[in-house]
Amino acid sequence: MPCTPSDFRRLALALPQTEQRQHMNHPDFRVAGKIFATLAYPNKQFGMVKLTPAQQEEFVQLHPAAFEPVNGAWGRKGCTSVLLAKASKRALKEAILAAWRNYSPSDLALASLKKGRKN
């Protein structure tokens, strides 16, 4: 079943200390004031997650129909477009979580990892 913008929003906001704000006329998701994901850019069919280049390479390789680098310098730094209709919920959740961990304070990310191992 394809993912939707509502799925993206729900997954992002489920992460600790995440808040939704607005940036350049589209929703963004932040932890500790730092953007880790956006929705509806360049249009409502897409989301974007801020991965490391290595994470980006892995997601693009494993899910080429759903993930691709953003054009230009931002893409080379790890910003990755997600075509929601082609992403599985599991892949989307993993990508959003990876992006969140990249920008969350280290103690919060560590607590999240420990909690995930218990579940």
Task: Give the range of the structural domain holding residue 39, as residue numbers without chain letter.
Answer: 5-105
119 domain-assigned: no
Residue 115 placed within a domain? no
> Which CATH number characterizes residue 70's domain?
3.90.1150.30
3-state SS class at 99: helix
* 55 within a domain of the structure (yes/no): yes
Tell me the per-residue pLDDT of 17-67, one tens digit each, with 9 for 90 and over.
999 999 888 999 999 999 999 999 889 999 999 999 999 999 999 999 999
Give yes or no for residue 114 having a pLDDT over 90: no
Mean pLDDT over each residue of the chain, to the nearest integer: 91
pLDDT confidence of 113, banded at 50, 70, 90?
low
Q: Say if 23 falls within a structural domain.
A: yes
Does a structural domain hold residue 17? yes
- Number of structural domains (the chain) is 1
Cα 12 to Cα 20: distance, rounded to the nearest angstrom: 9
For 54-113, give the DSSP string.
HHHHHHHHH-TTTEEEPSHHHHHTTEEEEEGGG--HHHHHHHHHHHHHHHS-HHHHHHHH
pTM of structure: 0.89
- In sequence order, the β-bridge partners of residue 48 are 38, 81
Residue 113 lies in a domain: no
Per-residue pLDDT tens digits for 64-106: 999 999 999 999 999 999 999 999 999 999 999 999 999 998 8
Is there a domain that residue 114 lies in?
Answer: no
- Report yes or no on 118 lying in a domain: no
